[in-house]
Structure 1
C-alpha cells in the first residue's frame, strides 16, 4: 500500500530505542524526513549513524527544552507534518507506596510533555492546514495493569487525544493515538526479568496474551505510519489498541 509519506517532516520523541526507534525507521522507509529527540547523546549519535535521522538532545521533562526542540526542528525542516509523542517512562509502585512527587514526574514526562509539544507543533500545522499528531499511550491507560502513576498518565494522554482532536480537525490536523500492549524489545526491564527467569516471556505470553506471544516494535510502527497517512483520514481522536488481544476491554 502506498502511504504517500515521502517528503513528510516527522518528529519522534524517545526515538533511540524500542517503539520510538521502530516508528522512526518505518517513516524513513516510507521516504519521510525524520528527526528524533532523546536525552542520551550516545544513543542519539548511534542511531544517527545507523539510519541518518536528524537528532536532538533534549530532556523533554523540561519545558524550555520542549520549546527549543520544536523551534529547532521547524528551523531545520521548514515545517512539521507529523509529531509522534512516544517518550515515556514507568514510575513508582502501588498508590500507597508511591510519593506524590513521583506521580508528578510521571505526569510531566508521559502526559504534560505530549500536551506541550502538541501545542507547539500545532502552530506550524495550523498554518499549513495539514498535520498529524500521534500519541503513544498504553492499554494500561484504558485498564489497570501497570504502575498506577503510569496508568494515570497514559489515561490522561488518551483523554487529551480526544479533546485536542476536536479542536484541531477543523484546521485539517488529525490527532490520534496508539495503545500498545506488551511489546518486546531488549530494554533494561525485559532483560532483568529474563535474567531472573529465562522462560519469563513465554510464561507471560501464555498467561496474558491470546495471540501467544509478545508484540514487536515493528507491529506498532506499522500502525503509526498508517495513521499518519491519508489512508487514515477519517480516524480522528481515536486511540487504537494494538495488543494481540491482551486487553480485556470489548471496545
Structure 2
C-alpha cells in the first residue's frame, strides 16, 4: 500500500532511541524528510550515523518553552514547513503516590503532557496556514487504566484527553490529530529490557499472564501504526487514540 509520504516533512520528539528512533526509520523508508529532537547530542549523532546523513538532528529539551520554539523554528527553516508532528518524548518517574513528591508529578506532566501540548500548538500554527497536517501523540494503555506509575498514568491520561479535544478543534482547518497507546514494548533501551535481564522468570511470567499475544510488542509494530495514521490512508481517523498492545489492555473501547 502506497502511503504517499514521499517528501513529507516529519518532526519526531524523543527520536534518538526506542520508539522514536523506530518511527523515524520507517518514515525515512517511506521517503519522508525527517527530523528528530532529543536532549543528548551524542545520542542524536549516533542515530543519524545509523539511519543516514539525511536525517536532521535537533538538540533540545521539549520541557523548555524556549527549546520547543527553537526546535520548531530550526526544523521549518530547514524544510520550509512541517507536515507531520509525532509527540513521542516521554518517561516514567516516582513510585507510589504517597512516596512521590509533587515535584516528580510536575516533572512527569511537563515531559509527558505539556511538552506535547506546546509542540502541537507551535506546529498547528504552520499547518493551519497550509490547511493540512497531522499530529500524532504517543500515550500509553496506562493512560486509560492503572498499570504504570501514578505520575505516568495521570500524565498519559491527560494526553489522551488533549488529543480528542485538540482534534475536534483542528479538523475544520484540515489538520488531523490522533494518537497511539502502546502496550508493553521490548527494545534495547527500554525499561522492560532492563527488567527482563534482571529477573527473566518474573518478567516472562508477567507476559504469560498479562499479554494475550504471549509476547512483548516490537518497536516496528508501533512505528507501523504511527506511520499509517500519519498518512492520508487514515484520513477519517480524527481524535482517536488507538491501543496497539497485543490485547494487553482491559478496556473495550
TM class by shorter-chain length? over 0.9
- Aligned-partner SS, 2:181: strand
Question: Matches of 1:121 and 1:242 in 2, distance apart?
Answer: 25
- Aligned-partner SS, 2:98: coil
Given the alignment of the two structures, is residue 126 of structure 1 paired with residue 128 of structure 2, yes or no?
yes
Question: Matches of 1:228 and 1:189 in 2, distance apart?
Answer: 27
Q: How far is the alpha carbon of 1:189 from its aligned partner?
A: 2.4
Pairwise mapping of residues 212-227 of structure 1 onto structure 2 (< 5 A)? Answer: 212-227=214-229
Structure 1 moving runs of 4+ over 2 Å: 188-192, 198-202
Q: How far is the alpha carbon of 1:192 from its aligned partner?
A: 3.2
Partner residue in 2 for 1:14: 14
Partner residue in 1 for 2:75: 73
Q: How far is the alpha carbon of 1:203 from its aligned partner?
A: 1.8
Q: How far is the alpha carbon of 1:16 from its aligned partner?
A: 1.1
Q: How far is the alpha carbon of 1:186 from its aligned partner?
A: 1.3
Once the two structures are superposed, residues 134-187 of structure 1 have per-residue CA deviations (whole angstroms, 9 ceiling, x without a partner) of: 000000001000000100000000000000001110010000000000000012
- Aligned-partner SS, 2:200: coil
Preserved CA contact (<8 Å) 1:201 1:214: no
Preserved CA contact (<8 Å) 2:185 2:192: no
Once the two structures are superposed, residues 24-79 of structure 1 have per-residue CA deviations (whole angstroms, 9 ceiling, x without a partner) of: 11100110000000011111001111112100010111110001010110010001
Q: How far is the alpha carbon of 1:105 from its aligned partner?
A: 0.3
Question: Matches of 1:109 and 1:240 in 2, distance apart?
Answer: 21
Question: Matches of 1:191 and 1:114 in 2, distance apart?
Answer: 26
Question: Matches of 2:78 and 2:163 in 1, distance apart?
Answer: 27
Partner residue in 2 for 1:150: 152
How many residues are aligned here? 251
Preserved CA contact (<8 Å) 1:134 1:176: yes
Preserved CA contact (<8 Å) 1:138 1:178: yes
Partner residue in 1 for 2:107: 105
Question: Matches of 1:16 and 1:90 in 2, distance apart?
Answer: 17
Note the residue ranges of structure 2 that are not aligned, 5 or more in a row: none
Pairwise mapping of residues 232-251 of structure 1 onto structure 2 (< 5 A)? Answer: 232-251=234-253
CA RMSD in angstroms, aligned pairs only: 1.0
Note the residue ranges of structure 1 that are not aligned, 5 or more in a row: none
TM-score by length of 1: 0.98
Name the stretch that deviates more: 194-203 or 173-182: 194-203
Partner residue in 2 for 1:25: 25
Preserved CA contact (<8 Å) 1:88 1:110: yes
TM-score by length of 2: 0.97
- Aligned-partner SS, 1:79: coil
Question: Matches of 2:205 and 2:28 in 1, distance apart?
Answer: 35
